[in-house]
Amino acid sequence: MTRPFAPGRLRQSVAGWSMLAVPLVLVALLVHGSGRPLAERTLISFFLDAALVVGMQMFIGNSGIISFGHVAFMGVGAYTAALVTIPPDIKVQQLPDVPAWLGDLQLGLIPAVVLGALMAAVIALIVGGALVRMRESAMAMGTLALLVFGYSAFSNWSSLTRGTIGLYGVPNNSTVWVTLVALLATLLLARLYRSSRAGMRLQASREDPVAAAASGVNVRMERLGSWVLSAAVMGAGGALWAQSYLAFGPDAFYFDITFALLAMLVIGGRASVTGAVAGAALITIVTDMLTRVEQGVSLGALSIPAVPGLVRFSIALLIILALVFRPQGLFGRWELDDVLRRVRAGGFRRGAPAPEPAEAPSVASEPTEAPSVAPEVEVAAAAPAPAARVGRNGDGPPVLSAEEVSKSFEGLHALSGVSLGVGRGDVLGLIGPNGSGKTTLLNVLSGIFPPDAGRVRFLGRDIGGSTPHHIARAGIARTFQNIRLFPELTVREHIEVAAIDPGSADVHDVISWLGLEPVLEELGGNLAYGVQRRVEIARAAVRRPSVLLLDEPAAGMNEAESDELLRDILAIRDRLGCSVLVVDHDLRLIMQLCERIHVLNEGRTVAEGEPREVAVDPAVVEAYLGTPRKDASPPTDREGDDAG
Amino acid sequence: MSARELIQQLVNALSLGSIYALLALGLSVVYGVMGMLNFAFGELVTITGYTMYFVSGGNESFLLMALVGIAASTVSSMGMELVAFRPLRRASFLTLLFTSFALAQIIQNLFRQLVSPRPKGVPVPDLFNEAVTIGGIKIGVLPLITAGVGIGSLLLLTLFFRRSSAGLAMRAASQDFVTARLMGIPANRIISLAFAISGLLAGIAGVLWVARLTSVSPAMGFTPLLQAFIASVIGGLGSLTGAVAGGFFLGFLEILLQATLPSGLLPFAQALTLLAIVGVLYVRPQGLLGRRAEAL
Amino acid sequence: MADEALLEVADLSVSYGAIRALRGVSLHVREGEIVAVLGPNGAGKSTLLKAITGVVRPHGGAIRFLGERLDGHTPESIVRRGVSMVPEGRRLFPGLTVQENLEVGGYTQRRGAADTREVLETFPILADRAGQMAGTLSGGEQQQLAIARSLMARPRLMLLDEPSLGLAPLIVDRIMSLLTDLRRRGVTILLVEQNVHRALEIADRAYVLAVGQVVMGGDAADLARTGSLERTYLGMASGP
């Protein structure tokens, strides 16, 4: 149902790819034409390295998770290719115990590459299932274990790999053109993936997994998908590599190459495909130059002695320097076409260039989810003036409800038997002093914690204990008290990640109501505070949720700003037909905005009703200001015990 | 397995386990205080080994070699922090990891270039190859000494952590670094101390490691590093007791596999160990003694 | 001398990235006083304490303690000068015992195991639980421990960040009278609180913060009388 690309992104990535492809083709033509075999060897080596680095970039760059083990997949591809391409007579000499069907087999380049990719993908699927369940630091260790595991398997499974001695006799099928085509294909795949909605969802999880889940991203699945895809690329790359280097052993897929490839990625820029290629190019050039110096070279009158190990030192030093001075790498998150567009767009604007939309935004597109209530208010082109609070309670059962919910953290009772209900089209306010349990309740409703006791019902279904992304997909969207934007994604990309249909009219409306058009290409991390808050709200609203949970949307706003916010929230409720639950401390805003208010104190409900009633309820006043000791009412069951 | 073999294997397991526990603790001490995984930790073992190699010129006593090696490791660790990690104090986890990764490569290559890419032999006392008979059971001297030194060091360290004010300060800092500073605990000094302890532990483990291997090579630090990582993650990253528990768990697991695997599968022992570890983490992602992370 | 401020905050501004948490806040605390800082959530009260203790760096203004600048110094050096903090949520060391938490508090004074006895005399409940893990204490006991831990540093100025948070009213009583006790013993106190009435009962003076600025200030008794406090909190009127 959902399109794989947001409007304009497909064209943008193909265009960007071609900007990288053209110079690469030119270089290949130049070097091939020059007829210098050494240069051609270096070029093939560069193409292979670049393809491998880009393969790693597809996972590491988009997910933000460091993998030390990708080279194991390269090894799988290499050994697979070797086993199916080495001529049978040489094969049987090296591997006398190989099964007959395999011994007689000799395939060509393409089948070998395909098989290499497949084998790697299958293994990646198995291993990945365990890996994505781990915490991030454990995952890094898991990939290290994968590297060692692979090395151990290659070294010990002698009947298939000839152990530490290694295999030889692989036919030289990887010419300059073959490797060029492979690199171009890899680059295209990587660019497409990066700009696809799946790729962006993964990038969102890289930036903030919790906010991503709340925007409907199934973080584990996205990571697994990227892991398998990049492993397949590594497998294909390894197969090609084997058919270029012709002889190898397990040592080729261990630490040295891992370090070299990671160096290229780190120095060039993890988050962009251009960065990966640039890093590969830079390291190749540096290695090439320094290798000659390493062996001793004479510059005119000067004769520089051989300095063994110079290459490795230099690369290690380069990494450290890069990390100190430019931790994001040369290109950071910018692709080549982004950089060029920035320059063209007139100098140094902060922010990313826009994709040129290929089609006009669909005006009368069918909403993918039916609105939960038919809007009764006339639709205006601009944000409507704050409508009189149209009471809609009593319209049937609540859309979202908490029933006797309790939650404790290590002895601290954050919530004790709280019940509340959000009705269709309601705007419900949830208030209470610091520590009263408001945010905990919101977290329980949105699935971040399961309730210890009680139920959470949404549209009649019990959702207590569901994961955040399931709840998000069911139709509950939320914002966060501490603002959890995706710092390295643009505002437009935030919307594309969260929205079910990014091209729809509703999405465009939300963007214009919240005044976000001018900042669509700005990075989340560069926005002013008020704008950040609005982007948070937009990101939730564009999901066209049934219920919108707002956690302190007005924090840090002055009076004018919170008035605007009030109008925006009501517009969203009216036009998108969702119910709203607002937590905030700005009681002026709450009183004006909400039809009903629910007051918590110390984890319990102390009042509920219309704003006017609640404002003068003595229990509420006491909750906020405390009571003077002398006037304290006789101890209720809250007092008198030593509970913390 | 007979009772005799059981006792022998038990000593082996304690011996291997205590080396892993020392390594895991050395890694965790820095992780707890600074939140970084020091990839160059393994190179401290390499430094220990090569120092012992250099000192072993004439008929130097093994004890002397050991002490100088441990001193070298401790000083190197503190030097690492001062030169490479202090300027990057506020950097991200990934940046620090990469930096330590690069540093490890530099050190490794130093040894490769300045000494030799080939392994070099380190003389160990003949005593280590002998066995004693206790209660009618023949037990290797080296495993006994290793277990003794290892467990003894851990006990001394526990004493340090629990009784001294510096140890107390470190425990506080690894539980809540910011609040520890609010109590007046000096950040720089505590971090230096953490790296010193890390180097000390790597040194002791390194001596025991070399005593088993009787040789040093430039890449020798990788396996200790890997084992330290694995043990720390099993025990629960950030927990000092967890690191020790993880180390012994790993040691016991390895000896168990070595003793029970059919000979055809023996080369895969390490791979199978890793598989078992991954299995543990699958079921309990936070490690044996770790705390639950936020739900995703 | 008695009129000279022990702590002086002048035109302090603190930002977290794009968020301006404090905009030109000025206040002072004289020796022997209990001064309360009140205000709704998000007003910047915690940020103020973090700036004083050196956890965050202000980008404008100055903080002076006994005439010397505090801003720009590390938290550990600020403690040594006699400013001690009881953080929000207590922030005890969960894996350490009561005794050990106290010893950590006394780090700057080199007060070891023996000296904790003196402080424990003021806190008999804690004395009973000296060997227990701090994480197992009840809320009220934890708060007392946090205060006792802060006392170990022999502070001239004690900062408390919402000590009544999460505590039952009777326990809050005890904490408040404990603070009054401390004042009698010569400890100056700067108290951030959300329990307005209780805070005003024990304080000499108070400031009210809203949206990063001081909107009200004066004698505690005066502030307690006027109805303007309720309006600031319950939002019937907006700022100054």
Could B187 and C76 be called an inter-chain contact, meaning their C-beta atoms sit closer than 8 Å?
A: yes
Number of domains in chain C: 1
Average pLDDT over chain A, rounded to whole?
83
Q: Is the dihedral of CA B37, B42, B43, B49 positive or negative?
A: positive
Task: Point out the residue among B172, B182, B185 whose CB comes nearest to the CB of C53.
Answer: B182
User: Which of the two residues, A577 and A1, has the higher pLDDT score?
Assistant: A577
Task: Mean pLDDT check: name the lowest of A74-78, C168-172, C173-177.
Answer: C168-172
Q: What is the pLDDT of residues C13-40, one digit of tens each?
A: 998 766 788 999 999 999 999 999 998 7
**Mean pLDDT calculated for residue range A481-501:** 91
pLDDT of residue A301: 61
Q: Is A556 close to C195, i.e. CB distance below 8 A?
A: no
Task: Tell me the percentage of chain C whose pLDDT exceeds 70.
Answer: 91
How many other CB atoms are there within 10 angstroms of residue A96's CB atom? 10
Q: How is residue A383 written in tokens?
A: 């944000």
- Cβ-based burial of A44 (10 A; exposed 0-12, middle 13-18, buried ≥19): buried
The predicted pLDDT at position B72 comes to 96
B172·C104 Cβ contact <8 A = yes
Nearest-by-CA chain C residue for B185: C76
Residue spans of the domains in chain B: they are 3-283
Considering A236-240, A299-303, A572-576, C195-199, the range whose residues carry the highest mean pLDDT is: A236-240
Question: Given B98, B110, B281, which is nearest A319 (Cβ)?
Answer: B98
* Backbone torsions φ then ψ of B241, nearest 5 degrees: -65, -35
Q: Does residue C154 belong to any structural domain of this protein?
A: yes
> Could you tell me if residue C128 is inside a domain?
yes
Q: Is residue A626 predicted with pLDDT exceeding 80?
A: no
Reported confidence tier of residue C235, pLDDT bands at 50, 70, 90: low
Residue of C231, C234, C236 to mutate, testing the A interface (most A Cβ within 10 Å of its Cβ): C234
What's the pLDDT band for A300 if we cut at 50, 70, 90?
Answer: low
pLDDT of residue A235: 97
* Mean pLDDT computed over A508-523: 90
What pLDDT band is residue A179 in, cutting at 50, 70 and 90?
very high
Distance, CA of C195 to CA of C198 (rounded, Å): 6
Question: What is residue B195's predicted lDDT score, i.e. its pLDDT?
Answer: 95
Q: Tell me what percent of the residues of chain B surpass a pLDDT of 90.
A: 38
Instruction: Provide the whole-model pTM.
Output: 0.80
Assigned domain for C38 exists: yes
- State yes or no: pLDDT of C240 exceeds 70: no
Query: Is the model's pLDDT at B188 over the cut of 70?
Result: yes
C75 closest CB neighbour out of B169, B171, B182? B182
- Min Cα–Cα distance to chain A from C208, Å: 13
pLDDT category, A374, cuts 50, 70, 90? very low
Residue from A413, A438, A585, A625 whose CB has the most chain C CBs within 10 Å, to mutate: A625
Subunit contact B268:A262, Cβ cutoff 8 A: no
Residue pairs between chains A and B whose CB atoms are closer than 8 Å:
118
- Contact at CB, B175 and C93, closer than 8 angstroms: yes
Q: Does A361 have pLDDT greater than 70?
A: no
Range of the domain at C201: 7-238
Nearest to C105 among B175, B176, B183 (CB): B183
Residue A589 and residue A593: Cα distance in Å, rounded? Answer: 6
Q: What's the gap in Å between the CA of C47 and the closest CA on chain A?
A: 13
In Å, how far is B247's CA from the nearest CA of chain C?
21
Nearest CA in chain C to B239: C95
The predicted structure's pLDDT at residue B5: 84
Mean pLDDT of chain C: 85
Which residue bears the tokens 């012709």? A246
Nearest-angstrom CA–CA distance, A61 and A272: 7
| Count of helices and strands (H, E) across chain B | 11, 4
Q: Does residue C13 lie within any of the structural domains? A: yes
Going by the DSSP 8-state scheme, the letter that residue A490 receives in this structure is B
Three-class SS state of B139: strand
Cβ atoms A595, A610 nearer than 8 A = yes
Q: What is the CATH number of the domain that holds C28?
A: 3.40.50.300
Q: Is C229 on the interface with A (CB under 8 A)?
A: yes
Q: Would you state the structure tokens that stand for residue B67, as one six-digit string?
A: 């002490």
Q: Enumerate the residues of chain C whose CB falls inside 8 A of the CB of residue B189.
A: none
Angle at C8 between CA C4 and CA C11, to 5 degrees: 135
Q: What pLDDT is attached to residue A368?
A: 32
Taking 90 as the threshold, does the pLDDT of residue A135 lie above it? no
Q: Which of A567-581, B173-187, B256-270, C195-209 has the lowest mean pLDDT?
A: B256-270
> What is the SS3 assignment for A641?
coil
Averaged pLDDT for residues A32-42: 87
Return the exposure string of A459-483: e unless at least 16 CB atoms fall within 10 Å of the residue's CB, then b.
eeeebbebbbbebbbbbbbbbbbeb
Whether C1 is covered by a domain: the verdict is no
pLDDT at A370: 33
- Inform me whether the pLDDT recorded for A112 exceeds 90: yes
Mean pLDDT, residues A352-377 taken together: 35
How do residues A585-603 score in pLDDT, each as one tens digit? 777 888 888 999 999 988 8
Q: Is residue C119 part of a domain?
A: yes
Taking residues A90-101, what's their average pLDDT? 88
What's the Cα-to-Cα distance from A128 to each of A121, A131, A150, B229, B279, rounded to whole Å?
10, 5, 14, 19, 12
Among the ranges given (A205-219, A268-282, B264-278), the one the predictor scored with the smallest mean pLDDT = B264-278
Query: Percentage of chain B with pLDDT > 70?
Result: 96
Q: pLDDT band at A39, cuts 50/70/90?
A: confident
Q: Residue A355: what pLDDT?
A: 46
CA distance between the termini of chain B: 45
pLDDT at residue A640 greater than cutoff 80: no
Given this structure, which CATH class describes domain B3-283? mainly alpha
Predicted pLDDT of residue A329: 85
Q: Cα–Cα distance between C160 and C87 in angstroms, integer?
A: 6
Is residue B237's pLDDT more than 90? Answer: no
Q: Rounded to whole angstroms, how far apart are CA atoms C166 and B189? A: 35
Measured torsion, CA atoms of residues A211, A213, A217, A223, in degrees rounded to the nearest 10: 100
Mean pLDDT, residues B96-110 taken together: 85
Q: How confident is the model at residue C42 (pLDDT cuts 50, 70, 90)?
A: low
Residue B197 banded pLDDT, cuts 50, 70, 90: very high
With bands split at pLDDT 50, 70 and 90, how would you rate the model's confidence at B89?
confident
Q: What is the mean pLDDT of residues B144-156?
A: 91
